[in-house]
Structure formats: structure tokens, C-alpha cells
Amino acid sequence: MRRVDLGGKLCICALAILLSSCVSTTNYKPNTLVKVSVHDQTLEVVKDGTPTHRFRVSTSRFGLGDQPNSFRTPLGRFVVQNKIGDGVPLGGKFYHRHYTGERVDLEHGSASGHDSLLTRILWLRGLEESNRNAYSRGIYIHGTNQETLVGQPASYGCIRMRNRDVLTLYDIVPLGSLVVIQFDPLTPAPRAVAAAAGRRPAVPSPASGATTAPPPVAPKALPVQASPAPPPPSPPTPRRPAVSSRHTQSRALAHHARRRQHPHSDRNLRGKHVAKASTRKTE
């Protein structure tokens, strides 16, 4: 049997340590599942088969895919390979996954044209051929300085979250957790389903021997009583024009005709009356 020297033993030990570290960070833990719905722009945490948390997220504005330099969000199964940001304050800024010491003022926002990685980073590694480039591309779940855009596709391939939400996610999701990014919507949350079931009337099954309650009858609308129509306005009384008699009209027409034929007849007649009156006074 060939003996292994000290150098060979050291190499074997180093290889064993490396393999053990890889297994501890890459084998996903089945009790924790993170589901990301591109359709809903929502992330859901499932613990032991029960959804516990939901957060709004933002996937890529450029669509879906795993091509390098495509800025797209890949689909499929992933594992949380690394967690970065222990002790970094809320809004702490990262550059190449290292905390810069700078802290973004989240209350007043920051430059909307620049995409910053803030607070915490969960680095994903793809488990399928269709997302094998995710780790080298740097596909993260991280906090963002553009919180107003969370809830709509706005990222450059990563999964953006609000900074307080990614703090909570960082604490409840351990290394090695399985992450599934899917296009399909998520199923209704258990509390929402329970609330919806509570609003529905319970109908016993016919197999149980109980009589099935008839479905509720929608209340009939009461007939609307029409208000009495207002009486029609009385027609205005026509004004009766002053109508003169035919005799008066004929006399007026004749007088008008005489005046047009003898325009000075009235003046001559008036002169005769004046002359008679003067002669009477002289007598």
C-alpha cells in the first residue's frame, strides 16, 4: 500500500474543507422557499409549506432571459449562494459588493437615474441550464434607491426591494434557501383565502345528510313611484287688438284721401271760420 506524504494529506484536507463549504452554501434548504412572481411583481417567503411574508419587488425592465449583458431577469430555480451586508445601516451603499461607508437618505430619495445597491444583498446562483449565467452576471436580491419604482419592472436584471423589506428578508432567509423566479402569478395568500371564505355562506354537503340551504335570494328592487307631472302651463291670453268699425275706417280713409287731394282745404276752411268770427265782432 502506497503511503501518502504530508503534502498529500494537506491537499486532501484542503479539498475536503472546500467541498464541505460548497455543500453548505449551495445545497438548498427545503424548509425555506422564496418565490418571485414576475406577473405580480411580488416576492413570497414560504416556511415549511406555509407562506409567511409577501413583499413588492421589481424585476427587469428589459424582460426575461439569462444572456450575458442583456440586463434581463432569469427564470427558474436558484439558491441563495451568498448573503452580504451584516451590520450595514439602512440605506448603506455597496460598490462591487463592498460597503462604501456612504448612506443614502431614503426619506428624500436620491438620483433616480442611477441604480444603487443598498442595505443588503442576497446573491443567487442558478440551478438549471437556463439560468447558469446568473451568478457570474451578478443577479441579486437587494435594496434600491428607487423605492418609488418598486412594484413594476424597473431593474437591470436583479430583484429590487424596498430597503426595510430586504432587511426583513435577509433575517428570515438563510443561506442555501431555494429561490424560484417564475412568470406565473402567485396563489392567494392563506389569510386572504380565509377572509374570502369567511365572507361566503357555509353550505353543508348533501352527503352529510343535512339539507342544503337554498341560495340567498337577491332582494327585489322596489318600484319607483313616479312623481306627479306638473300641470301644463296655461297658454297666454292673446291680446285683442283694437278693432274699429268699418264705418269709422271708411271715414278715416276718405278723410285721408281728401287731404292728399286738397292739402290746403283745411287751411282755407280754418280761414273762413276766422273771417266769420271777425265780422261778427265788428258788428
- The CATH number of residue 155's host domain is 2.40.440.10
Could you tell me the residue range of the domain that residue 114 belongs to?
Answer: 25-188
In a domain, 114, yes or no: yes
In a domain, 254, yes or no: no
**10 Å Cβ neighbour count for 231?**
6
In a domain, 124, yes or no: yes
195 alpha-carbon distance from chain centroid: 23
* 277: amino acid identity, one letter: A
In a domain, 57, yes or no: yes
- Average pLDDT (16-22) is 45
* pLDDT digits 0-9 by tens, 166-178: 999 999 999 999 9
In a domain, 135, yes or no: yes
* pLDDT digits 0-9 by tens, 39-76: 999 999 999 999 999 999 999 999 999 999 999 999 99
In a domain, 243, yes or no: no
In a domain, 78, yes or no: yes
Listed residue (26, 65, 58) closest to 42, CA to CA: 58
- Average pLDDT (185-208) is 52
Q: 3-class DSSP state for residue 221?
A: coil
Task: Take residue 119 and report the three cell numbers written for it.
Answer: 442595505
Tell me which H or E stretch contains 88: none
In a domain, 118, yes or no: yes
Q: Is the pTM of this model over 0.85?
A: no
Q: What is the DSSP letter of 182?
A: E
pLDDT class for 216, splitting at 50, 70, 90?
Answer: very low
* pLDDT digits 0-9 by tens, 107-166: 876 555 678 999 999 999 999 999 999 999 999 999 999 999 999 999 999 999 999 999
Number of structural domains in the chain = 1
DSSP 3-state percent helix, strand, coil across the chain (nearest 5): 30, 25, 45
